[in-house]
Amino acid sequence: MCGMLNVDVTLAYADDTDELAEGSADDPATSGRSTLGAVVASSTQVGILRGVGPPGHLTDFKWTISGRSDSNYAADIDDRRSVTGCRTFLNGAPVMFRSATQRFVTLSVTEAESAAGVTETQDMLYAYNILKSLGLKVELPMILEMDNKGAVDLANSWSVGGRTRHIDVRMHFLRELKSQGLLVIKHVPGDDNDADIFTKNTTAAVFNKHVRNFVGNDEYVEVEVQDNPPS
């Protein structure tokens, strides 16, 4: 997780980055560390840097967990299962993301979006439990964002209608977390939902718009963006 939070975390406190490239060719362990160190030391311009203060102050620091989810409804033409795309950010840096076919057939776009939201919430809870097990503090409530207004409204309401009665189990999961103060569900415009790139093959403009949230200011991405500017 530390590596995903900050690819250059070793450099943050290293006095001499040349030491990272040292290693023994006879020892696979040190050789591996040498290779990794050389890559990190030579790519300081690539990645996302998130600092939380000097070492030893993490016990008083509150981590923030946020997530976004999206779905591509009935994307599989063989069995009409939808695709879930979601990502989890810890203090603004990506720690988890996924793109997977849902295990069941959903009967509406709202249901597919709700299922994706539940999957993302489970990932957020996983990150939350890891931090708590390490004795670290987490800012509550965690924030889940979805671009489907119907799914957001269902998660924020205890009412159950005839057309949504069959999905109330998943909705109650989100509602209970909200009532416990662990989660808040918000709407995010579809154009701003970076989880969209995990649900389907997007256009180059859409992909380049969102991918920097996951790889940072990469010099190679900058070249692609110049060739394919967002609309």
pLDDT, one tens digit per residue, over 180-223 is 999 999 999 999 999 999 999 999 999 989 988 888 776 665 65
Can you tell me the mean pLDDT for 128-148? 96
Task: Provide the pLDDT for residue 141.
Answer: 97
Handedness of CA 131, 136, 137, 139 (dihedral sign): negative
Q: Is the model more confident about 44 or about 145?
A: 145
pLDDT tens digits, one per residue of 42-100: 666 666 555 555 555 656 789 999 999 999 999 888 999 999 999 999 999 999 999 99
Task: Provide the pLDDT for residue 89.
Answer: 97
Task: Provide the pLDDT for residue 17.
Answer: 42
Task: Provide the pLDDT for residue 77.
Answer: 87
Q: Is the model more confident about 230 or about 173?
A: 173
Task: Provide the pLDDT for residue 69.
Answer: 97
Cβ atoms of 84 and 146 closer than 8 Å: no
**Selection from 13, 118, 117, 138 nearest residue 70 by Cα:** 117
Task: Provide the pLDDT for residue 194.
Answer: 95
Residue that is written with structure tokens 């993302």 in the block: 120
**Selection from 66, 125, 126 nearest residue 93 by Cα:** 66
Task: Provide the pLDDT for residue 11.
Answer: 34
**Selection from 178, 188, 111, 175 nearest residue 146 by Cα:** 188
Residue 150 has pLDDT above 50, yes or no: yes
Residue 225 has pLDDT above 80, yes or no: no
| Global model pTM greater than 0.85 | no
